[in-house]
Amino acid sequence: MEGTEAAGGRRLGQRLRDLHARDGLRVTEAEGMTLRKKGVARVDWRDPYHLAVTLSWPKFFAVLLVVELVINLSFASLYALAPGSVVNARPGSLSDVFFFSIETLATVGYGVMAPGTLYGHIVSAVEILCGMTLTAVFTGLIFVRFSRPKAKILFAENPVITTHNGKPALMVRVGNGRLSPLGDARAKVSVILLEQTEEGHTFWRSHELELVRASIPVFLLTWTVVHEITEASPLWGATPESLEDGDFRMLVSIEVRDQAIASMVCDVHTYGARDIAWRMRYVDAVSWREDNTRTVDMTKLSTVEPDGFSGDAPEQDGIGVRRQPVSS
């Protein structure tokens, strides 16, 4: 029966992956989950602000350069349509009116070239208004990008499943990447599992895991988030094979208050089934010195070692099998 259920789970997972391939949904194991959506515009021009703040810095400055060139070329073409509209510009020289457009858009004006006709004055007046508006917009966007708060939360590369206080538990260790303490830290851990209804429909279901401690008042060094795997847990009886066949994903969300900027910041990390380290535990990253100074080595945040238990491996019989400590 167990073999039939495992085989059915593998077939179910394969059917969903085939469906994903047809519908354009791509799941990347390395980063946990990457979704490709259909029916949604890649760039929503009705929301340019969101586009501007989500672009990478190289793309952002590339967009600014393109906008600057397009606007200056447009106004330079307007000046070129009326020869003599710009004093001291060589007749037929697009480069002269182009650089005059740059000076006008930036409201610099070196005094060598200037509007020479009513038409030139009108075009330059419109360009000055555009230049002032663009300067304000670009300055605001750059300020927003620089001032946007960022969480410097460090996540262990692998969650572990081990024994904690005599019970199987799922653990994820996180670290405070700031030199200053963080306050009011809150953790949420959700797992997404592929499930099948009695009618035969397949869907992803999100389960929020109950944590031993979901919040701490002060986040100084490291914090190990623990979920005890009881019979009420969606992970009870799970094996590496069942999690992988069920397209398992785990999302860890950490929200803290950064006292330096007086703002709440949040970070989310995603893990897949292959990221879980079974029957392992985290190496202690905090040590005490003789002068009563506590030192944390963040390079050990992801370091794991065998948990020191023997018996039937949970990866064979499922989480929940009782194991006995190794006798010395």
Give me the pLDDT at residue 12, please: 46
Q: How many residues does the chain have?
A: 328
| 3-class SS of residue 39 | coil
296, 174 Cβ separation under 8 angstroms: no
pLDDT, average across residues 282-295? 82
Q: Can you give the pTM of this predicted structure?
A: 0.70
Strands 114-115 and 86-87: antiparallel
Confidence of residue 309 (pLDDT cuts 50, 70, 90): low
Cα separation, 274 vs 294, in Å, equals 34
The helix (H) or strand (E) run that includes residue 58 is: helix 57-81
The helix (H) or strand (E) run that includes residue 86 is: strand 86-87
Over residues 18-63, the pLDDT tens digits come to: 444 444 433 333 344 566 777 777 777 788 888 888 889 999 999 9
**Domains of the chain, first to last:** 48-147 (1.10.287.70), 151-317 (2.60.40.1400)
Look-up: residue for tokens 């020191």? 308
